[in-house]
Structure 1
Amino acid sequence: MEVGIWLVLGLAALPALGNFAGGLLADWLRPSKHTLNLALHASAGIILAVIAVEVMPQALPVAPAWLLALAFIGGGAAYLAMEAGVDRWQRSKPGGAGTGAWMVYVAVATDLIGDGLLIGAGSAVSGELALVLALGQLLADGPEGFAVVANFRDKGFGRVKRMLISASFALPVIGAALLAYFVLRGQGEVVKMAALVFVGGLFTLAAVEDMLREAHDSAGDSRWSAASLIAGFALFMIVSGSLD
């Protein structure tokens, strides 16, 4: 499938749509914290499946294993650097009303930049790969949108303002996707695959350290939490296999 700019824009909009849908769910249905725990575990399972089922099998036959290992480590290091930056920003802010909600906003926006990079890098490889990656992020981003809107609701922000905040997440993901697409378009396959694995390393830490930590903070884990993680992994396998 030939990848054009409009396809990249459409695919990058999918994670933002999933995030916005999660925000709507939090605003209208107000699920329990236990439900959020289960959803976040499922999201982590989906992200791990994206890396294991799509990214690594595409990259390993193309690029040297040592290069991919370095790229994966580099992605993890980039995540740790972004997390340190967010932590410094959090510590610099006074503890006034709404500050905690904006901290969650910054963290989720950072994750969505990673979504965009993954989709943009995938688009530089093939439209089919980009579609599968975008669908995976669409499924995974709902709980993050839920967390943001729930936090702003608890801080007293009105519904219109909450929805505008939720819609603004389209900007980082689309911008990052376009950046990655234009930077990688025309590059060799080894470079493209190394870039994909780099973002894969970033997302592996995001799933394990960020999503699961947020799940643990929202409610205590149970056997259903573990089952949700496995179910999320299996769901993406089904989606990927169906599209293949």
Structure 2
Amino acid sequence: MEDLLLVMLLALVPAAANILGGLVAEVVSLSERVFSAALHLAVGIVIAVIGLELMPRALAAEPAWAPLVAFTVGGGLFLGVDALSGFVQARVPGRGGGGSLGVYSGVALDLFSDGVMIGTGSVINPALGLLLAVGQAPADLLEGFAAQAAFRRAGVARRWRVLAGAGFTVPILFGAVLGYLVLRDAPEVVTLSVLSFTGGALLSVVIEEMIPKAHEARQSRLDSFYLTVGFVVFAVVALWLG
């Protein structure tokens, strides 16, 4: 029970960062360049999580092909969900909240994936769960900022924006509990494959949602630099936490 409580507390770290980002969006005017820079920073962090933490650990499984298959399935499943979301959204009358709802859904899926990673990582090693929680926090802060800003631009009432931001705690806590309870007694290859699966889904989120959204805004020559900085930020956190 204490271990489960620890996992939930770890999941609250990126959840709190996400909520904080949403609150900042309520008081700060968001230019297109700032929006693009924030998303590029978040992309760099997510890519670092996948490349520096998830896949190196996943490839230590026996057999190594299992997490590779899971990674591919994770990416493909997200593409299917994304296509279904687009199909439904195209049939919803009105344009005001469609884009903002898509952003919100994408962030919720990413938070669920974060929760699964934290829960699964904690099964492998509590230090890995801590690293994933702290490392994801900067990206989740930026995503919370972007989601809240999208609702604000769509004219959604403030009380609903605040409630929507608070609601981001649900998918990450659910994912963390699910990842921990279901996988704590599972074989290592299964645990590492689930970790790899979430990595594949996250990579698809980055490519299909975050980067295109960043490029819709006014671009800057520094955008690729911001992505690199985001990667380095997580690398520093990983080195610091060991």
TM-score (norm 1): 0.93
1:199 aligns with 2:198: yes
Count of aligned pairs between the two proteins: 242
Q: Compared with structure 1, are the counterparts of its residues 10 and 155 closer, same or farther at alpha carbon in structure 2 (3 Å cutoff)? A: same
Aligned to 2:40: 41
Deviation larger for 230-239 or 143-152: 143-152
Aligned to 1:4: 3
AA paired with 2:197?
F
Give the drift of 1:96.
5.0
Q: Say whether the 8 Å CA contact 2:116–2:176 is kept in structure 1.
A: yes
Q: Say whether the 8 Å CA contact 1:3–1:123 is kept in structure 2.
A: no
1:63 aligns with 2:62: yes
Deviations 1:29-70 (A, max 9, x none): 223220111111111111111111111222222332222211
Q: Compared with structure 1, are the counterparts of its residues 63 and 42 closer, same or farther at alpha carbon in structure 2 (3 Å cutoff)? A: farther
Aligned to 1:177: 176
Aligned to 2:162: 163
Aligned ranges 1:124-139 → 2 under 5 Å = 124-139=123-138
Aligned ranges 1:208-227 → 2 under 5 Å = 208-220=207-219, 222-227=220-225
Q: Compared with structure 1, are the counterparts of its residues 103 and 61 closer, same or farther at alpha carbon in structure 2 (3 Å cutoff)? A: closer
1:140 aligns with 2:139: yes
Quote the Cα distance in structure 2 between the aligned partners of 1:84 and 1:36.
25
Quote the Cα distance in structure 2 between the aligned partners of 1:99 and 1:71.
31
Give the drift of 1:219.
2.3
For structure 1, which runs of at least 5 residues remain unmatched after alignment?
Answer: none
Q: Compared with structure 1, are the counterparts of its residues 43 and 64 closer, same or farther at alpha carbon in structure 2 (3 Å cutoff)? A: same
Q: Compared with structure 1, are the counterparts of its residues 226 and 6 closer, same or farther at alpha carbon in structure 2 (3 Å cutoff)? A: same
Quote the Cα distance in structure 2 between the aligned partners of 1:109 and 1:230.
25
Q: Secondary structure at the match of 1:63?
A: coil
Deviations 1:102-159 (A, max 9, x none): 2322222122222222212112211111111111221111222122211222233333
For structure 2, which runs of at least 5 residues remain unmatched after alignment?
Answer: none
Quote the Cα distance in structure 1 between the aligned partners of 2:43 and 2:138.
10
Quote the Cα distance in structure 2 between the aligned partners of 1:106 and 1:224.
28
Of 233, 237, 240, the match for 2:238: 240
Aligned to 2:102: 103
